[in-house]
Amino acid sequence: MFTRRIALVAIVLGITVASSTNCSLAASAFPSKPVTVIVPFPAGGRSDITIRLLGAYLEKILKQPFVVLNKPGAGGTIGFKGLAQSQPDGYTIGFTTNAVVMTQYTVPENIDLRDFEPICLFNSDPAVLAVAYSAPWKDLPSFVRFGKDNPRKLLIGINPGASAHIFAAAFGKVARIETVFVPYKGGPERVSALAGGHINADFGVLAQYRSMVDANKVRILSVAAASRLPGNKDIPTFLENGIDLQISGWQGLFAPRGTPPDVLSLIDDSVKKTLGNQEFIDRLEKIDVQETYLSRRDFAAFLAKENSETRQLLSELGLMVTAPK
């Protein structure tokens, strides 16, 4: 019996060592084919533009193409589910915003943050309030006065359950204004609707409005940051106008749960290396994307805190649709 136990332990240890060795070999060979990056929003939006730029640099480091696959719909949930159901081998990853946290609680057919492995936080930008350039409001005080004097007359674009929805709801609560939300599939649709006069205002990050701002079709009234943006000192903060609103949108890389840690670390390290490239940083600045890197471990801690704070915020705003996780 003793001899059999020793033999059994040896077999188990052999299987464990072999499995560990195979996992390490797989990770060391990664990537040996193109990597698909799911973006749960339409082409042409902030996330789409950012990951295509980042992917071009990752290709140089990892010697394989990074192919962007747009899967928009349901506040990002269609893309999130596609990622969660993908093979956890590193060849399908996702690039998304804080919608991955929010839609857990705002979309009935929801996903679970625990279905994903965080890779790294890439950037974080404060929200801005945008109106059509031809609109009568040239500053935040006049916009707020109109809203107070005309309840439910302001039409604000949103992606149901996603960042734009939360930004708009938070503003309405803090400014004490009743508005009407108009749903769209993604940022590009909302920006086009704003420039065309189909909605009165929109909340997002500066990057998604840049081309319309430069073309004098959209005006930025305020930014939800503690201080003015370094590269855009002409945009006043909400705080300067007596509205205590500080809220941001972020972007990060995720993988399906169960993806090998070595593979996750390799992608994380490659992103960090890319962010050390000054040419890349200069190109980010041109599209108004602010680098805010957190490593895989730090990003996991950040997500835990973000999840807790998001639950509380959504509960306060009355936007909680599904039970807290």
Nearest to 251 by CA among 47, 41, 36: 47
- The pair of structure tokens assigned to 228 is 């003015």
Predicted pLDDT at 12: 40
Domains, the chain? 34-124+249-317 (3.40.190.150), 126-248 (3.40.190.10)
The residue count for the chain: 325
Model confidence pLDDT, tens digit, residues 246-269: 999 899 999 999 999 999 999 999
Model confidence pLDDT, tens digit, residues 1-48: 334 443 433 444 444 444 444 444 445 689 999 999 999 988 988 899
Predicted pLDDT at 325: 60
SS (H, E, C) 175-208: HCCCCEEEECCCHHHHHHHHHCCCCCEEEEEHHH
Model confidence pLDDT, tens digit, residues 193-241: 999 999 999 999 998 899 999 999 999 999 999 999 888 899 999 999 9
Model confidence pLDDT, tens digit, residues 120-131: 999 999 999 999
Residue 22: CB atoms within 10 Å: 10
Predicted pLDDT at 51: 96
Model confidence pLDDT, tens digit, residues 154-184: 999 998 878 889 999 999 999 999 999 999 9
Nearest to 210 by CA among 294, 286, 131, 96: 286
Model confidence pLDDT, tens digit, residues 48-85: 999 999 999 999 999 999 999 999 988 788 999 999 99
Considering 89-93, 185-189, 317-321, the range whose residues carry the highest mean pLDDT is 89-93
Q: Across the chain, where does the E strand assignment appear?
A: 35-39, 66-70, 92-97, 116-132, 155-158, 180-183, 201-205, 218-223, 248-256, 291-294
* Cβ-contact 302, 119 below 8 angstroms: no
How far is Cα 201 from Cα 128, in angstroms, rounded to an integer? 10
pTM of the model: 0.81
Predicted pLDDT at 161: 79
Predicted pLDDT at 281: 95
Cis peptide bond upstream of 31, omega within 30? yes
- 181, β-bridge pairs: 156
35-39 and 92-97 as β-strands: parallel, antiparallel, unpaired?
parallel
Nearest to 219 by CA among 142, 161, 113, 290: 142
**Helix, strand, coil percentages, rounded to 5, for the chain:** 50, 20, 30
